[in-house]
Amino acid sequence: MPENGPLIDTPLLEKLERLAIQWQKSLPGAVGGHNTSRFAGGGQEFLDHRQFYDGDDLRAVNWRAYLRLEKMFLKMFQLEPRIPVRVLVDISKSMLTGGLTSGSIDAAGGKGALSKFDYGRKLAAALCYVSLVRLDSIYLQPFAEKLGDPLRLGGGRHRFQPVANYLQALKPGGTTHFIDVTRDFIARYPQRGLVIVISDFLDDGGCEKPLQYLADFGHEMILIHIWADEDREPPWDGELDLEDAETGTRVQLAFDDNARAAYTTAFDDYALQLRNVALRNGGRYVGLPTSIPIEEAIFGPIVRAGAIA
């Protein structure tokens, strides 16, 4: 992808206008959002009546009922909170494999596809735009070994340019440590909210436990799992000298069709574990190979998973 090219072109942005990020949990937050909550509060939609107690706001008293029944009832309204949307983007070195991008580690296998890093940046930009249009609060948070400096935004589509600039300025590097990132995240953001994790989830220490911690602290998760085709089904044959993109560890082995089948099964099992973690905690999971175009991925698997609608 060219360094100076737009992350998302204008026709796609116009199509994203009609989408909104979806929650499954009722989360508290400042009034002003578009998601309904089971909590009563200062919204526009009528929710219920309750008995008046001293100290209640007289403006909410149903004076018609008082004239008829001579009892004071208070009108309650449905809360529409502004839930914080936190987008975590993986910028570790493993995101550079398997695609074409400037500075990519291996561009041989991509055959024209984007690297996972560029693919993730585009997805993050699209989701941020959807959130901005719906006046959500956004925290754009890169990570690798630990959380990077966040970009905090809110307020409308005209704030999208800083998001694009921020994403384009990101430099990949580092090793993924989900457990450290999760700890840091929980400590930094005590307010519960929606967490969208865009990553290849390739951490030698494992991702299931840190993601479970995140869910246990009340965050709603949307896991967007990105992989290159060669990550899932390596195209090579014969004797290979493999090097881990993040750690530099090398291993030499023989690879054939049987080994490829075993490899793919192991990868699918891992993806299934991630999906189970997400669904078990009321979240959602989307698996995306980089060979699927961005627009098709958003309006296909992501919409079908209920992450946006």
Partner 1 sequence: MNFLNLSFGELMALAGIISAGIIALYLLDRTKRRQVVATLRFWTAGKLPEELQHKRRIHQPWSMLLQLLSMLLLLLAIAAPRIGDLGAAHDHVLLLDTSAWMGARARQGILLDQAKTAALVYVKSLPLLDRVMLVRADALATPVTQFDSDKNAVSDAIRRSRPSTSALNLEQAFEFAQQAQRLQSQKAGEIVFVGAGRIAKQDTELPVPPNLRLISIPSNGENVGLRKLSVRRASSPSPGTPTSPDTWEAFVELRNDGSLPREITLLLQFAGTAAGSKTLTLAAGSETQATFLFHAKAAGFLEARVTSTNGRGDAFPQDDAAVIEVPVGKTLRVAVYSPEPDLLKPLLTGNAQVQATFDLPAKYDPQSSADIVVFDRFAPKDAPANVASVWIEPPAGSPFAMRSAATKTKLERWHQDTALGAGLYTKDVELASTEVFNLAPGDQAVAETAQGPVVVQRQGAVKMAALGFDPVRSTMKYDLATPLLIANLLRWMAPEVFRRSDVQAGTVGTVNVTLDKGVNPANVKVLGDDQRPLPFTIEGNRLQFFAGAAGNVRVVTGNRETVFSLTLPDVGDVTWRPPADVARGVRRSLVESSSAPNPWPWLALAGGLGLLADWLLYGRRQIVRLKPRAASPNLVERLRRRKAS
Rule CB under 8 A: is residue 173 a binding residue for partner 1?
no
Order of strands across the sheet that contains 220-227? 151-154, 137-143, 84-90, 194-199, 220-227, 284-289
Rule CB under 8 A: is residue 24 a binding residue for partner 1?
no
Contact 185, 214 (CB under 8 A): yes
Stretch that binds partner 1, among 66-74, 154-162, 214-222, 229-237 (CB under 8 A): 229-237
Query: Quick check: helix, strand or coil at residue 87?
Result: strand
Rule CB under 8 A: is residue 33 a binding residue for partner 1?
no
Tell me which residues in 95-114 interact with partner 1 (CB under 8 A).
95, 97-98, 105-106, 109, 111
End-to-end CA distance of the chain: 28
Rounded Cα–Cα distance for residues 97 and 114 (Å): 10
| Backbone torsions φ then ψ of 115, nearest 5 degrees | -75, 165
Instruction: Specify the amino acid at residue 85.
Output: V
Instruction: Specify the amino acid at residue 169.
Output: A
Stretch that binds partner 1, among 42-50, 92-100, 124-132, 151-159 (CB under 8 A): 92-100
Rounded Cα–Cα distance for residues 93 and 275 (Å): 23
Rounded Cα–Cα distance for residues 246 and 206 (Å): 14
From candidates 243, 280, 282, 309, binder to partner 1 by CB under 8 A: 243
Rule CB under 8 A: is residue 56 a binding residue for partner 1?
no
From candidates 145, 180, 184, 229, binder to partner 1 by CB under 8 A: 229
Rule CB under 8 A: is residue 216 a binding residue for partner 1?
no
Rule CB under 8 A: is residue 30 a binding residue for partner 1?
no
Cβ distance to partner 1 smaller for residue 29 or 172:
172
Smallest distance, Å, CB 302 to partner 1? 11
- Closest-CA residue to 95 (of 207, 198, 236, 243): 198
Stretch that binds partner 1, among 1-9, 126-134, 154-162, 196-204 (CB under 8 A): 196-204
Query: Quick check: helix, strand or coil at residue 294?
Result: helix
Sign (positive/negative) of CA torsion 7, 90, 297, 33?
Answer: negative
252-281 mask for partner 1 (x: CB under 8 A)?
xxxx---x--xxxxxxx-xxx--x------
Smallest distance, Å, CB 200 to partner 1? 6
Stretch that binds partner 1, among 59-67, 146-154, 182-190, 198-206 (CB under 8 A): 198-206
Rule CB under 8 A: is residue 76 a binding residue for partner 1?
no
Smallest distance, Å, CB 249 to partner 1? 6
Smallest distance, Å, CB 110 to partner 1? 9
Query: Quick check: helix, strand or coil at residue 245?
Result: coil
- Closest-CA residue to 135 (of 7, 45, 20, 40): 20
- Closest-CA residue to 51 (of 75, 67, 74): 74
Give contact residues for partner 1 (rule: CB under 8 A).
94-95, 97-98, 105-106, 109, 111, 116, 200, 202, 204, 227-246, 249, 251-255, 259, 262-268, 270-272, 275, 286-287, 289, 291-292, 301
